[in-house]
Every structure is written in structure tokens, then in C-alpha cells.
A = this chain, B = another copy of it.
């Protein structure tokens, strides 16, 4: 029996709400909640999936709650080996009891995952990256601090004046920072707000460690972050000769290589 369009729309948005609340629901429960047959529930789900509003599974569906992180996780999966190497090198710098800053970006996420595996005792982790909390929030014996700030649309990152001010009040032993690109002039990033925050973090950090994989080589971005002479530590899956070929000459000791 045909039903008003409005009713259909209402049911579908109710469905997404339900999934948002519960995370996951099997079809059986969905049609019970919505008072429709399985066929209709399935049809609704396939429509919503084609609009990327939910994720379909066999026997049920997932709410959008992970959609924020989905693109993130997908980006993370690209170049896993390189990021894993970088992450392992980065984690080798982290000693028990120190205070570590991790910024936004997939490299920081890779470092966080590596930390889950090899966790030094008594760390303090500071970040502006909400996605990291999903992995790091529940680590035992670790203090996790989130900078405040404004949530960036469609991303899980906090930025703005408040983030900068909050950063200026932190005590950081090592900061792990990412960038969108590197060329002979130095490191580049996409947004002024990001750079402002990174500079505030660098001021407070005993050591600032830039982490980039080779896909960033030769790229630039709208905003200049830092010139090479001021870079003290670079963790990268490139060798010194490869960097020199791109016009980047580093003082000895600046480039850290994975020992594995």
C-alpha cells in the first residue's frame, strides 16, 4: 500500500537516528522498531547506504557514527608499511613518564596505534586529535589531555584561538608533528590555523619531531610551516641521498631512520 512520501522520509530519518543511538542494529530489530516488514527495512537501508548515511552489514546496519573516522581509516591504510616504520621510529623516542604531543593527521594516528602495542609507563599524551582518543583514551597508566578548541567541520580535529592558548599552557617533552608537503624550502601545511597551533606547540616542546612519509616529497601546500635549518628532527622513510636529490640537505643527526 503506497504511503505518503513524508512518512517514508520520516521513517528513514528515524532509522538513521536509531542507528546513531545504538551503533549497530540487526534487521530484525529494525523492522520491529519501525513497524515495517523486513523487505521495507532492507529497502530503506539500501537507499540510506547509497546516500552514505549508514553502513550496511550482513544482517544489519551500522550508524554513521564511524563515518567521521571512515575516511580517516581509509587514508591510514594507504602506505601502511611506510607509516608503520615511521611510527616505530617515533615511538622509540618515547621514554616512560614523559609528555608527548601528537597532532592531527594519519601519521600521528599510526604512532598512536604503535603506542598501544608498546606502551611506556606513565605517559602524558596531549593532542588536538579526537580520532586518537578512540585508540588512546582507555590506555592504562596514561594521562590523556585534549586541547580545547573549535571542531573542524567533517574532521575530528580541534583548532582555533582556544587550541593555541591551550597549547601555550602545556608542558611537552616531545611533539610529533606532521605536514602536507616538503620541498627544498622546508615543510608546508594546508591551513593557517594548523600552522599557528603547530608553532605554539613547538614553542612549548623540548623537542619537535616532524614525521613525513615519502609521498610528501616535492609537494607544497598553501602555507609555509618551517624552513629546514630550523628542523631539529625528521622521521622519514627516505634516505639522505634521496632527500639531497630533491634539494634538501640536512645537518647530520637530523634525519632519524628506522633501524628495523
Contacts and interface: CB of A to CB of B under 8 A. Distances in A.
Nearest to A158: B146
Nearest to A21: B73
A241 interface: no
A8 interface: no
A148, A151, A158: most-surrounded residue (chain B CB, <10 A): A148
Interface stretch (A95-103, A137-145, A175-183, A214-222): A137-145
A216 B184 CA distance: 63
Nearest to A165: B169
A60 B62 contact: no
A154 interface: yes
Interface stretch (A41-49, A127-135, A250-258): A127-135
A122 B150 CA distance: 14
A137 B151 contact: yes
A148 B148 contact: yes
A118 interface: no
B151 A133 contact: yes
A89 interface: no
B138 A68 contact: yes
Contact of A60 (B57, B66, B153): B57
A148 B133 contact: no
Contacts of A57: 24, 26, 57, 59-60
A9 interface: no
A22 interface: yes
A191 B228 CA distance: 48
A17 B80 CA distance: 14
Interface of A: 17, 20-24, 26, 55, 57-60, 62, 65-66, 68-70, 73, 76-77, 113, 116-117, 130, 133-135, 137-138, 143-151, 153-154, 156, 158, 160, 162-163, 165-166, 169
